[in-house]
Structure 1
C-alpha cells in the first residue's frame, strides 16, 4: 500500500503584545477567574471598565472559577473586544503550570467551534510561582496547538471542523520592556510545536503506511526544506559491511527493508564534539517469534516513537539554526515472525564485537539500539541521548507521567531532569547500578538480551550501558509517555519538549538568542 505524504497541518498564527484588556480590539478576550469567583487582575480591569458587569455574572453563579470551566459573554460594555471568555483557574493558592496548561487548553477548545477566528489571551499575565514568561509563552503555544491537533487524514470522511476556525492567538505580556525577548521565545515555541506536530503525525501513522522506508523519506524531505541538514540513509548492504548484525537480526523476519537514518546539523565549529540523539524505530513490533498477546497489539505501531521524536527534534534544530553540532541516528526495522525470523536461543555478534544470546525476540529494541549506539561512537560525541519505547516495566514503575531516565553521568542526568521540569515534559531518574549487570549473564554468549522479570527497565538500560562506556550517555525510556491510551489514544510527541529545552539551554550557552 503506498504511503501518503506526512501531512503538516497548518498551525495557528501566534503573536505577542502588551496593553490594557479593556483597550484590546479583538473578536474575543480571554481572562481568568479563580475559585470562589475571584477575578484575575485582567478580569478586574474589565469589570471596572464595564461597571461591574463580570462580578454581577459571577455573583449569579454563572462562573464559579472551577478549573477548566468557561463562560462566553457577548457585548460587555465599556471595552473594545466583541466578546469575553471567562476561564476557570481553580484555587488561586494551587495555581501552577499544570493548572495553567489545563485552563489554556479549555479556552482554545471553547473558542474553536464558536466562530472566533482570532483572540487575545491575558492568561499569560497570570503569576505562576517559579515560572518565567518565556516558559509560560512556550506552554501556551504548545497547549493551544495540542488542543486542536487531530489525526484524521486516513478517514474517508474526516471532520471538516468549524466553518470559521480559530486561526490567530495573541498573548499579552505584562510590560512592553520584554517584547523582543517574548517574540524570540514565541519563535522558539512555534518551531517546537511544529516539531511535536511532525512527531505525532509520524507516530500516529499505522505500520502499513509508516515503514522504515517512510521514515527515511521523511528525513530526506527535511533535508530539502532545511539545506543545513545533511541526511544519509544506510541500507542493509552498508549495515552488513559495518557488522550491524544485532540490528539486522531483528529485521530478518520482515519483508520491510531495514534502514539506519543519519541526520547531521552542523551549527557550531566543525571541531566541536556533537550531541548525538538516537531514536528507536521499530515501525511495528509483533514481538517476533516471542509473539505478543493480541490485546492492544495495535499500539505497537508506536514502537517507533523514539525515532519520530528524533526526526521532530532535528526539524526544530534545523529550523532554529541552533549553534550546535547535532546528529540524529534512527535505527529502523519491523519486528515480525516468519521462517527467517530471529529465534529464541540464537546468538548474534553486535557491531561492537560483543555477542548476545537472544532469550526473547520481543526484547528487540535494545538489539537495534546497541548497534546504533556503537555507530554513534564514530562521531566522538560530547553527549549521546537515546529515546526508546523500551520496556513495559517502566510503565509499571512510573506510570504515564514521567519518562524513565538512566545515565552513566550524574551531571547529564541532572541537566535533563531540569530541562524536563522547565518544559513540563518531565523525567524521573532510575538507578544504573552495576548490581543489575549479573542478571544479563549468559552461559553461551557475552550477555543475554533480557535479565528476568525483576527490574526490567533497569536491566534493559544495563544492557545498553555495555555499549556506551566511551562517552557521556543518557537513556530515556518513553514507553509510558510516548502515547496516550483509552479514549484519547494517540501520540503525545514526548520527549520532544524535554530534549528541545535541553538543546536550547546548550545553544544559549553558545550565544543563541532566538
Structure 2
C-alpha cells in the first residue's frame, strides 16, 4: 500500500480523483463557504450528523466532487484514539466497495502521531491474508493520499514511521496467520534471512547440532517429538556504534503446539499455529528496522520448533539440563514455551545487552487476567517497565505491569530438579514469569505475555501483529541515546 501526504485546502478536495474521499471532521473544524462545509453544516442542523466519534455522513456521486464516494466522519474532540476510531468507522462504511485509491483529509489540525495512527489503522482495516488461498481476493486498497491544511516535516516523518510500522505489523501477521505446514522452523529461518539481507543487518541460523553443542537441553527436549528440525535464529540490526550495547528481543517460536504428551483438547487446537506469534513479532520489528534504520543496536533471538507427541517426545516427570546449567523437572509438556525461552535468555548474555525483552503467547492465565486488550508486562527493572508501558500508551499497543513477588515462585520448587516448569493454577501467568526470571538475572529483563492479544478468534480469526507497534516505539525511542547514559539512569530493582 503506497502512502503519501501533502498540504491541501478543504476546497481543493473537489478536484481530487479518488475512488473514495474520507474527511475526518473534528468538532472544532473551521468551516468555510465550500461545498463540503455547507453539506456538513446542513446535516448537523438536521441532526443527521453529530460531533460524536465515528458518526458518518456519506454520499455517492456527490455533485461538484470528482471522487466517486465522499465520507465525512467525526473524530469528536480529536484525541489520537478518536482519530483511529474515525478511520476505522469510515473504512467500515466503505466495506464491499472496490476502493483502490483513497483520499484521507483532516478538516482541522492534525498532530504527527495522529497521521501515523491513521496510516496504521487503514492498513489494519484493509489487510487481507492470501498466501494459502487458491482463489484469494487480493487487497484492493493500493494507494492512500493523506492531506491536511498544514503539513510539516514532522508529519512526513510520522508517515514514514507509519509506513515502516505497517510493514512490520503485516510481516508479523503473515507469519502468524500461516498454517503450521507453511510456517515451519525452517520457513521462519528463511524469512529471517530474507529480512536481514539489507545493510546493517545479519542473520545466523543454528540447527540441532549447534544447539546441542551449546548445551540447550531444555530447548532440545521440546523439539524431540517433532519430525521438523529445530532452528535457533539469531538476527542482528547494527544501527549504532559497535560498542553500544544492544536491546535483545526473544520471540517464542513454537510453530505448532499440540501440548506434547500433555495433549491439548481438540477444540480450537488449530489456533495453536499462532503459538509462534512472539517470533513473528520479532520478524516484524526487524522488517520495520530495515526500513527506518534508527541509531540503535538490536538482536533478535527466535528458538523455533514444533511441540509434538511422538514416541521420542519428552515426558511429564523428565528432568533436563538447561544451557544455564540449571535442571528442570518437566511436570507438564504443554508448558513448553518457557522451556525454549529459558535457553534463549541464557544465550542472550553473550551480547552484554542493555535490556532483554522476551515476547511469548505463554499462558492462558494471562488471557483470563487481562483479556484481549492489554498484554501482560513483567519486568525486573522499573525503568525498563516504565519505558515499555509508555511505549504501549504512545503506540496504542497497550500492556499492563504484573507482579513478580518472590512468593509466587514457591510453587515451582521440585524435589527432583532445581526447578519445576509449572506451579499450580493460581497466578499462572506470574509463576510462568517467575520461571523465566531465574534465567534472566544478568541484565534488565522484561517479559510480554501476549496470549490474549496476539490473535483473535471467531469470525475475526487472525493475527493482530501485536506487539510490533509497542516494541518498535520502544526501540526507536532509544535511537541516538547512548547506552551508557541509559544504563546510568537510577533504577530500583523490582522484587
Fold shared by both chains (TM-score > 0.5): yes
Alignment of 1:207-218 (within 5 A): 207-218=180-191
What is the Cα deviation at residue 270 of structure 1?
Answer: 0.7
CA distance in 2, matches of 1:174, 1:244: 58
Is this contact kept in 2: 1:417–1:427, CA < 8 A? yes
- 2:205 and 2:138 map into 1 onto residues whose CA distance is 37
Matched, 1:41 2:16: no
State yes or no: 1:186 paired with 2:186: no
1:15 matched residue in structure 2: 4
CA RMSD, Structure 1 to Structure 2 (Å)? 2.2
Q: Counterpart of 2:82?
A: 99
Residues 160 and 204 of structure 1: CA distance in aligned 2, closer, same or farther (over 3 Å): closer
Aligned partner of 1:151 in structure 2 is: 129
Number of the residue aligned with 2:486? none
Contact 1:112 1:166 in 2 (8 A): no
Aligned mates of 2:438, 2:37 — CA distance in 1: 70
Q: How many residues align?
A: 480
Report the counterpart of residue 233 of structure 2 in structure 1: 261
Query: What's the CA shift string for 1:313-342, capped at 9, x where partnerless?
Result: 111112212211110000011001011001
Describe the SS at the equivalent of 2:23: strand
Q: Please, which of 119, 123, 144 is the counterpart of residue 141 of structure 1?
A: 119
Higher mean alpha-carbon deviation, 239-248 vs 167-176, is at 167-176
CA distance, structure 2, for counterparts of residue 379 and residue 200 of structure 1? 28
> What residue in structure 1 maps to residue 489 of structure 2?
none
For 2:244 and 2:153, the matched residues in 1 are separated by: 30
**Which ranges in structure 2 are unaligned for 5 or more consecutive residues?**
484-495
- Larger CA deviation: 193-202 vs 101-110: 101-110
Among candidates 83, 86, 109, match of residue 72 of structure 2: 86
Distance 1:489 1:77 in 2: 40
Q: C-alpha distance in 2, partners of 1:143/1:248? A: 40
- Could you give the per-residue CA deviations for residues 50-91 of structure 1, whole angstroms, max 9, x where no partner exists? 6833333444454345543533325656778665311244xx
Distance 2:354 2:37 in 1: 61
Aligned mates of 1:202, 1:96 — CA distance in 2: 33
For 1:63, the equivalent position in structure 2 comes to: 49
Other structure's SS at 1:507 match: coil
- 1:405–1:340: structure 2 CA closer, same or farther, 3 Å change rule? same
Contact 2:200 2:238 in 1 (8 A): yes
1:467-506 aligned at under 5 Å gives the runs 467-506=439-478
Partner of 2:491: none
Q: Is contact 2:128-2:138 (8 Å) kept?
A: no
Structure 1: distance between partners of 2:164 and 2:281? 14
Supply the distance in 1 between the matched residues of 2:45 and 2:67 (Cα, whole angstroms): 22
Equivalent positions of 1:430-449 (< 5 A) are 430-449=402-421
TM-score after normalising by structure 2: 0.91
- Partners of 1:50 and 1:76 within 8 A in 2: no
Deviations 1:116-175 (A, max 9, x none): 543432348456xxxxx23211111110001000113322222356xxx44322223452
- CA contact 2:221–2:314 (8 Å) conserved in 1: yes
Gaps of 5+ in 1: 1-11, 128-132
Determine the C-alpha separation between the residues in 1 that align with 2:65 and 2:208: 66
Partner-residue secondary structure (3-state), 1:299: helix
**Which of residues 33, 38, 58 is equivalent to 1:52?**
38
The reply on whether 1:171 has 2:146 as its aligned counterpart is yes
Deviation digits for residues 393-431 of structure 1, max 9, x if unmatched? 000011110000001001100000000000000100001
The 3 A distance-change label for structure 1 pair 15 and 508 is farther
CA distance in 2, matches of 1:498, 1:70: 30
| CA gap 1:494/1:124 in 2 versus in 1, 3 angstroms | farther
Distance in 1, matches of 2:147 and 2:373, equals: 30
- Distance in 2, Cα, partners of 1:384 & 1:415: 13
| C-alpha distance 51-310 of structure 1, shift in aligned 2 (>3 A) | closer
Distance 1:193 1:245, change over 3 A: same
